[in-house]
């Protein structure tokens, strides 16, 4: 928001519509890396209609905006974000439909979603037990782990397109690929989705979930703030990016408080006062060294959000 007039008109709209918001909102607490300065404004819509109304307003008045789910794959700038952050955390209702499918809103935690499915005796989401983040973020990223991927379970996605028009997309409309979806290439907001699951013995489902959660804990994934893997795997070379970084002998390399995790070279951990600047610098160094040694370019998995979107 470039001047006080813009800010006044936004706050007038938000107060009139009674949509929850916070000005000058620190972003670090909303991210798993615990990094990021303040956003000019954060809005917290509690219903789909509030979200749609707010999104229409932002588009019409050309406000810079960005969508925040669980913040587990995001790197906000140290300066913060000049614009409006649309936080989906309050959009978290969930329903069972036709006994084997679940309809949930984008802000629902995927870890809790796996719990919910298990208590209903619905299998298929065990892979997501322990995965940080929201359902919206998991669809956007096409999150995958432990042999599962969100795209495999989706029947339809509800989406607000770039005109804030509600659309229902089929899995093929979503163009899911490895850590990729149409949502990464088109402006819009994922509202939620419907997932197809299969009836199974709840105890068996629970055992699988426990194994996956235990595996993450035993690898120290939650011991320090991070955003999981920084780089996607490059299937051309066929060696996981973490292993490639390991071959550079860079485990434990540190720039100020950001360290390449000795337990997993594709995780950059924040040892306290790490900054976005430190992370971006370390990413740049890895890019250069990997290019030099393997003649390939790694692609980042984490999403960096600059202070000013162009
Ligand atoms: C310890 C740890 C382990 C992890 N392990 C894995 C793993 O095994 N596999 C894996 O795939 N990932 C992993 N991740 C990364 C992360 O958990 C996933 O990418 C997750 O799906 C991101 O969801 P989120 O809600 O946190 O998204 P955010 O970080 O909030 O956002 C990520 C992107 O999605 C967009 N977005 C979010 N919600 C919406 C929406 N409703 N509409 C439109 N766009 C939206 C944001 O604008 C942003 O561009 C890990 C992260 C951590 C911290």
DSSP string, 183-217: GGTS--EEEEEEEE-EE--HHHHHHHHHHHHHHHH
Report residues of the chain scoring pLDDT below 50: none
Taking the CA of residue 144 as reference, the ligand 1 atom at the shortest distance is: 11
Summarize pLDDT for 35-59 with one digit per residue, the tens.
999 999 999 999 999 999 999 999 9
Listed in sequence order, the residues at least 6 apart from 82 whose beta carbon sits closer than 8 Å to its beta carbon are 1, 2, 40, 64, 307, 308
pLDDT of residue 250: 95
Q: How far is the CA of 9 from the centre of ligand 1 (A)?
A: 31
Q: How far apart are the first and last CA of the chain?
A: 13
pLDDT of residue 5: 63
Reading phi first (left if > 0) and then psi (alpha if -120 to 50, else beta), residue 24 is in: left
pLDDT of residue 23: 96
Q: Which pairs count as long-range contacts for 164-173, CB under 8 Å and 24+ apart, including other chains?
A: 164/52, 164/55, 164/56, 164/59, 166/52, 166/191
Tokens of residue 1, six digits: 């928001």
125 contacts 202 by C-beta, under 8 angstroms: no
pLDDT of residue 310: 76
Q: How far is the CA of 180 from the centre of ligand 1 (A)?
A: 12
DSSP string, 48-90: HHHHHHHHHHHHHTT--EEEESS-SSEEE-TT-EEEEEEE-TT
Backbone angles phi, psi at 34, to 5 degrees: 60, 45
Q: How far is the CA of 238 from the centre of ligand 1 (A)?
A: 24
pLDDT of residue 8: 78
Nearest-CA residue for ligand 1 atom 23 is: 137
Listed in sequence order, the residues at least 6 apart from 106 whose beta carbon sits closer than 8 Å to its beta carbon are 69, 88, 91, 134, 135, 136, 139, 189, 190, 191, 192
Nearest-CA residue for ligand 1 atom 45 is: 137
Taking the CA of residue 225 as reference, the ligand 1 atom at the shortest distance is: 53
The C-alpha torsion from 62 through 16 and 5 to 190, rounded to 10°, is -30
Reading phi first (left if > 0) and then psi (alpha if -120 to 50, else beta), residue 182 is in: alpha
Ligand 1 first shell, C-beta below 6 A? 32, 66-74, 88, 106, 131-134, 136-138, 140-141, 143-145, 183, 189-190, 221-222, 226-228, 303
Taking the CA of residue 73 as reference, the ligand 1 atom at the shortest distance is: 29
Indicate whether this model's pTM tops 0.95: yes
pLDDT of residue 141: 97
């Amino acid at each position: 928001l470039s001047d006080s007039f813009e800010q006044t008109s936004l706050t007038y709209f938000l107060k009139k519509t009674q949509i929850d918001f916070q000005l000058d909102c620190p972003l670090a607490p909303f991210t798993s890396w615990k990094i990021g300065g303040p956003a000019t404004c954060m809005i917290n819509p509690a219903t789909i209609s509030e979200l749609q109304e707010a999104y229409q307003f932002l588009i019409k008045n050309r406000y810079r905006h960005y969508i925040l789910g669980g913040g587990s794959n995001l790197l906000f700038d140290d300066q913060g974000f000049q614009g409006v952050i649309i936080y989906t955390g309050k959009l978290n209702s969930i329903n069972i439909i036709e006994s084997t499918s679940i309809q949930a809103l984008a802000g629902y935690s995927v870890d809790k979603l796996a719990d919910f499915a298990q208590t209903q005796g619905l299998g298929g989401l065990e892979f997501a037990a322990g995965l940080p983040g929201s359902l919206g973020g998991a669809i956007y990223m096409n999150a995958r782990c432990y042999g599962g991927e969100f795209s495999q379970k989706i029947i339809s996605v509800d989406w607000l397109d770039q005109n804030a028009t509600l659309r229902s997309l089929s899995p093929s409309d979503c163009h899911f690929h490895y850590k990729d979806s149409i949502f990464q290439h088109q402006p819009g907001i994922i509202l939620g989705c419907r997932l197809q699951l299969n009836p199974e013995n709840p105890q068996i489902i629970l055992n699988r979930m426990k194994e996956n959660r235990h595996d993450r804990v035993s690898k120290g994934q939650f011991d320090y703030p991070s955003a999981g893997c920084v780089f996607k795997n490059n299937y051309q070379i066929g060696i996981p990016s973490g292993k490639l970084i390991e071959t550079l002998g860079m485990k434990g390399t540190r720039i100020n408080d950001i360290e390449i995790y000795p337990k997993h070279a594709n995780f950059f951990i924040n040892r306290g006062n790490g900054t976005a600047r430190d992370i971006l610098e370390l990413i740049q160094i890895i890019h250069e060294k990997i290019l030099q040694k393997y003649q390939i370019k790694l692609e980042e998995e984490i999403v960096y959000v600059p202070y000013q979107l162009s």
